[in-house]
Structure 1
Amino acid sequence: MTHFRRRYRRTMRHAIGWADLAGVRVGVFGAGVEGQSALTRLSELTTDIVVVDDDPNIELPGVTVEATDAGGFELLASCDVVIKSPGFSRYRPDIMALERSGIPVVGGTGLSMHELDRSKIICVTGTKGKSTTASVLGHLLTQFGLRTEVTGNIGRPLFDAALPSDLDAIVVETSSFQALDIADAPGIVVVTSLATDHVDWHGSIEQYHVDKLSLTSLPDAQLTVAQRLSPALQQRADLLGGDVRWSNGLAKSWAAPLGLVGDHNLANAELARLAALAFGVEQASDEEALSIAAQGFEPLPGRLSAVGTLGDVRFIDDSLATNVLPTLTALEALQGERLAILIGGYDRGVDYTELIEALAHRDSPTLVLGLPDSGERLCEAIGRITTHTSVTLAPDIGSGVDAAYAWAKPTGIVLLSPAAPSFSQFANWKERSDAFRSSVNDLLSRNAH
């Protein structure tokens, strides 16, 4: 144990892989989706495993989950290495204490990156747009004949045991949380945008920007494809590493079959095209080939996706809007529409000023329905400065959908675009998206003739 710890002392990025964990004592910190996938991988490597979570009520078959504050931390401190889930901040005092004691704290994504052929890996990161960009890129690469898997936040974890071993390309949607777990540079890093997010995890806006873009400047970083249409990203171009290639515009007519809404999504599609070109796919420079490849794409649920229509009222799901920037983008895409918007979620203490002003001074008729937890302070702030935007509180999505429809009819849009994570009421954005879609479907059933 002593040799293993000394080898990785005083660094927060550890260039080790799963094979290095054979026969050692491993702690799994976090018993969610990634933690469970890590357990599956570890089952083939070692029998000396401890599982710890802040929530001791998580139940896993055949596994005891220890509470962090009831002996769990001490168990982690007895391990040779700890695999943490991305949701646990690297700046937490307990995680930093483990590092100071010489115990490497790693992530499953980084462990896999160390062992895979990184020339096949394209990491997609950014404050907004990474899910759409990653999914479009994965679709294009597949249509152009490459065996491709999209992993990360919108797919299976990169270290999922069921991930095929004979892939030509692996697209990894990479959060700022996961970026700090990666020590080995991928072949290409795609950066979609930069704004303010996850201040509670990173500690400051500046640190978030540094951490978010750190993937591009790892040792042996090769190629960065970056979105020039993001002003903040241009301003922090000094943080970008590797050979930087900028995307300067919107996708042309080839992108029509993708069925994407808004100029921001056309910018995402163009970024995906340039990433494919950088990966060596020559067809990505052929408009006709691109148009054919774009066919059959299914837009992501939760990203400005249509759910249904009741009379002339449309329902749109934008649950993946977990920060201010994508909600502002949604408002821009729906400019001129009569709009009832459901906002609010887990309160990370971010600055909502720009969103508050945009909603308070929106030209078209607007109703803001505040969801727990941050929705209340948003509605209060909007109500103090608006002269025409209406505000109200909704205790949950179901009642919010009903109230939004009652206001929006006979013609308008009901939009879920929370500008906040889902953690306060839901396990993840998809669960929140499902709740919205279920509420809309229930409303449609009640009003069926």
Structure 2
Amino acid sequence: MRISELEGKRVAIWGYGREGRAALAALRWRLPGQPVTVFCSAEEARALGEMQDPALDVRTEVSAAALAEHEVVIKSPGISPYTSPAVDAALEGVRYVGGTGLWFAEPRSGQRICVTGTKGKSTTTALIAHLLRSAGHRTALAGNIGLPLLELLDVQPPPDYWAIELSSYQTGEAADVDVAVVLNLHPEHLDWHGTEARYLRDKLALLGNGRPRHAVLNAGDARVADATVPDTTRVHWFNHGDGWHLRESVIHRGERAVLDTRGLPLPGRHNRLNLCAALAAVEAAGLDAVALAPAAAAFRPLPHRLQSLGLRNGIEAVNDSISTTPQAAIAALDCFRGRPVAILVGGYDRGLDWGVFVERIAAEPVTAVITMGQNGPRVHEKLKPVAAAEGFVLAEATEMEEAVRLGLRALGSEGVLLLSPGAPSFPRYRDYVERGRHFARAAGYDPEQISAIPGLGVA
């Protein structure tokens, strides 16, 4: 649905976070007199009231009956169509769209390279934008990475390329995609999707609904390798001997050695595979990826993703607050093999199986595991017998400051204090950024210096 098609309809915006604000701004830009209802919090309602917009109807309570008054509801990504009773009861006669869908429905200009996956999608999307810009192409970096697409609705001059990160909440809204990248698939966000099968289906909607001209897929991930791809889509495999892949520390294109990754600002094997995916995507878009590969050396890493905050008294503090699955925490541990590590884990309990994490700790014990958050007690109980057998420190904390103190005490005079929670940040924190900033402050670093995402927007 295009924005122009909303004219004269009964339209509501549900949720007034950054996506909701972008949707309202887009409507006011294109349809300045259009009546709009906004469902939001009381605090957001006060801010909207200061706009003195006579065409706005601001409500702080949402119900099926209230939603059913409208023909179109522009829903924020965090509101699940599966688990919200208000959505379920109001489905008949109401069309739900997202800001991502509205943007994709607009006339296109420039190639759209869309990235999804359970882990690594932000870094891969940023790498794609970096490589394209290093070749002199005007490129937009936007989407779930931190800049709603609707904030770039009428960019002039238009970009040559769009590097777009899509979450599992947004993949079904993509359309007319030039290159779709699927990195990996592990169960996540089950509270939003309801079931693992639905999560996988929604992630892979990028390949179905998006009907991409090219698909860049991870041959090393069984779920991705088994994905159904439209007959009209050309598949490019990475993490495979015939395509872009990693041998020890060297990235290869088929049999050709292209780039030694030692010294690149990409810690861990998983980040180097992200670079393989980015190179495959750039190649699928029609560029010489072999020639562009050395530009990865100038990439600026994203915050809250294995971000080294500094070294004090022999202890390196590493902020991996973006880690929201047990597999992500394991990948973080893999980056620090051979060093003493105190890892801080735990957060919102989505009911995920932490057995793989427990197995990893049993196979390669660390110096300490500090559990915290809603699922902290459950993870702690699973680790108790392993800690008793292996002799590492296992402790519980109720707050970040306590977790940091316990981790530092266990490490003593050297090692890595690693925040890699393996779980979402809420309800304790608004998002992973706020959690990472709290960790930085608790560890003695300036949180104002760690959160800016380099390269967002058009350049």
| Shared fold per TM-score greater than 0.5 | yes
Task: Give the equivalent residue in structure 2 for 1:231.
Answer: 222
Output the CA distance in 1 between the equivalents of 2:230 and 2:439. Answer: 38
- The SS at the match of 1:159 is helix
1:327 shift after superposition? 1.2
CA contact (8 A) 1:125 1:190 kept: yes
CA contact (8 A) 2:184 2:218 kept: yes
1:162 shift after superposition? 6.9
1:399 shift after superposition? 2.2
- The SS at the match of 2:100 is helix
Task: Give the equivalent residue in structure 2 for 1:48.
Answer: 35
Output the CA distance in 2 between the equivalents of 1:441 and 1:155. Answer: 26
- The SS at the match of 2:275 is helix
Q: 5 Å matches for 1:1-400? A: 16-44=1-29, 45=31, 46-53=33-40, 55-59=41-45, 61-63=47-49, 66-69=59-62, 72-91=63-82, 92-99=84-91, 101-117=92-108, 120-161=111-152, 164-165=155-156, 166-182=158-174, 184-218=175-209, 220-234=211-225, 236-238=226-228, 242-247=233-238, 248=240, 249-250=245-246, 251=251, 252-253=258-259, 255-256=261-262, 258-282=264-288, 284-286=289-291, 289-291=292-294, 293-359=295-361, 361-386=362-387, 387=389, 388-400=391-403
- The SS at the match of 2:74 is strand
Output the CA distance in 2 between the equivalents of 1:443 and 1:391. Answer: 28
| Greater helix content | 1
1:19 shift after superposition? 1.8
CA contact (8 A) 1:98 1:105 kept: no
* Number of aligned positions between the proteins: 418
- The SS at the match of 2:217 is strand
1:120 shift after superposition? 1.3
Structure 2 vs 1, CA of residues 443 and 191 (structure 1 numbering), >3 Å: closer, same or farther? closer
Aligned-partner residue type, residue 375 of structure 1: G
2:437 paired with 1:437: no
Aligned-partner residue type, residue 77 of structure 2: P
1:222 shift after superposition? 1.8
Aligned-partner residue type, residue 285 of structure 1: V
CA contact (8 A) 1:337 1:413 kept: yes
Aligned-partner residue type, residue 265 of structure 2: G
Task: Give the equivalent residue in structure 2 for 1:6.
Answer: none
CA contact (8 A) 1:214 1:239 kept: no
Structure 2 vs 1, CA of residues 208 and 239 (structure 1 numbering), >3 Å: closer, same or farther? farther
Output the CA distance in 2 between the equivalents of 1:173 and 1:424. Answer: 24
CA contact (8 A) 1:357 1:382 kept: no
* Counterpart selection for 1:401 from 400, 404, 407: 404
- The SS at the match of 2:293 is helix
1:233 shift after superposition? 2.2
Output the CA distance in 1 between the equivalents of 2:290 and 2:93. Answer: 49
1:391 shift after superposition? 1.6
Structure 2 vs 1, CA of residues 416 and 240 (structure 1 numbering), >3 Å: closer, same or farther? farther
1:176 shift after superposition? 0.6
CA contact (8 A) 1:258 1:299 kept: no
Output the CA distance in 2 between the equivalents of 1:312 and 1:58. Answer: 45
1:94 shift after superposition? 2.1
Aligned-partner residue type, residue 79 of structure 1: H
CA contact (8 A) 1:40 1:161 kept: no
1:254 shift after superposition? 5.5
Identify the range of structure 1 (117-126 vs 312-321) with the bigger mean alpha-carbon deviation: 117-126
Aligned-partner residue type, residue 36 of structure 2: I
Structure 2 vs 1, CA of residues 239 and 352 (structure 1 numbering), >3 Å: closer, same or farther? farther
Output the CA distance in 2 between the equivalents of 1:59 and 1:409. Answer: 49
- The SS at the match of 2:443 is helix
Q: State the Cα RMSD in Å.
A: 2.2
1:262 shift after superposition? 0.8
1:108 shift after superposition? 0.2
TM-score under structure 2 length normalisation: 0.85
TM-score under structure 1 length normalisation: 0.87
Task: Give the equivalent residue in structure 2 for 1:414.
Answer: 417
Output the CA distance in 2 between the equivalents of 1:60 and 1:225. Answer: 45
Identify the range of structure 1 (347-356 vs 240-249) with the bigger mean alpha-carbon deviation: 240-249
